[in-house]
Chain A
Amino acid sequence: MPEPRAESGIRGKRGFVLLATAAGLVAMVGALGLSVDLGRLYIARNEAQSYADAAALAAALELDGTSAGIVRARDRALALPNRWHLGTASFTGTEVDFATSAAGPWLPAPSSAVNYRFVRVRAAATASLYFIPVVAGQTSSTVRALAVAAQVPKTNFNEGILPFSPMAHDAADPNFGFTPGQRYTLRWGANPKVGPNVCPGDNHDTWVTLAEAGNASERGYIEETSSAVIRMAIEQNYQSRPLAVGDTVVMTGGNKQTQRDSLINRINQDTDKYSATYAEYVANDTGNGRRLVVVPINTWYPEYRVLGFAAFFLLLPSEYPQGGNKSFCAEYVGPFVQGSRHKGAGGPGAYVVRLVQ
Chain B
Amino acid sequence: MRRRGNAIIEFALSFGLLFSVFAGVFQFGYAFVVYNNLQTAVRAGARYASLRVYDSSTSTPSAAYLAAVRNVVIYGDPSGSGPRRVPGLTPEQVQVTIIMDRNVPRDVSVAIVGYTLDAAVRSFTLNGKPKATMPYMGRFAPDMGG
A-B contacts counted at CB < 8 A amount to 136
| Distance between B32 CB and nearest chain A CB, rounded to angstroms | 3
Residues of B within 8 Å of A324, CB to CB, are none
Asked whether, in the complex, the Cβ of A288 is within 8 Å of the Cβ of B36, the reply is no
Q: Which residues of A contact B21 (CB under 8 A)?
A: 25, 28-29, 31-32
Contacts of A269 in B (CB 8 A): 103, 142
Residue A325 at the B interface, CB < 8 A? no
Are the C-beta atoms of B129 and A87 separated by less than 8 Å?
Answer: yes
Q: Which of B58-66, B70-78, B87-95, B133-141 contacts A (4 or more CB under 8 A)?
A: B133-141
Q: Is A236 interfacial (CB 8 A cutoff)?
A: yes
Interface size on A, residues (CB 8 A): 55
Judge whether B138 and A54 touch: CB under 8 Å. no
Given the complex, which residues of A lie within 8 Å of B43, measured CB to CB? 46, 50
Is A83 in contact with chain B by the CB < 8 A criterion? yes
User: Quick one: given A17-B10, A25-B21, A271-B103, are A81 and B133 in contact (CB under 8 Å)?
Assistant: yes
Q: Tell me if B137 and A61 are in contact (CB < 8 A).
A: yes
A160 to B141 alpha-carbon distance, docked (Å): 10
Contact call B39/A339, Cβ cutoff below 8 A: no
Chain B proximity of A31: nearest CB distance (Å): 5
Q: How close is B44's CB to chain A, nearest CB, in angstroms?
A: 10
Cβ B139 vs Cβ A236 within 8 A:
yes
| B14 nearest CB neighbor, chain A only | A21
List 8 A-B pairs, minimum CB-CB distance, nearest first: A87-B129, A39-B32, A339-B137, A236-B141, A21-B14, A288-B102, A58-B135, A28-B21
B: residues with CB less than 8 A from A are 3, 6-7, 10-11, 13-14, 17-18, 21-22, 24-25, 28-29, 32-33, 35-36, 39-40, 43, 46, 50, 53, 55, 101-104, 107, 109, 128-142, 144-145
A/B interface sample: 25 pairs, CB < 8 A: A10-B3, A18-B14, A21-B10, A28-B21, A29-B21, A31-B21, A36-B28, A36-B32, A39-B28, A39-B29, A39-B33, A42-B32, A42-B36, A43-B36, A43-B39, A46-B36, A50-B39, A54-B46, A54-B135, A58-B134, A58-B135, A87-B128, A87-B129, A159-B53, A288-B103
Question: A residues engaging B (CB < 8 A)?
Answer: 10, 13-14, 17-18, 20-21, 24-25, 28-29, 31-32, 35-36, 39-40, 42-43, 46-47, 50, 54, 57-58, 61, 76, 80-83, 86-88, 159-160, 231-232, 235-238, 265, 269, 271, 286-290, 338-339, 341, 352-353
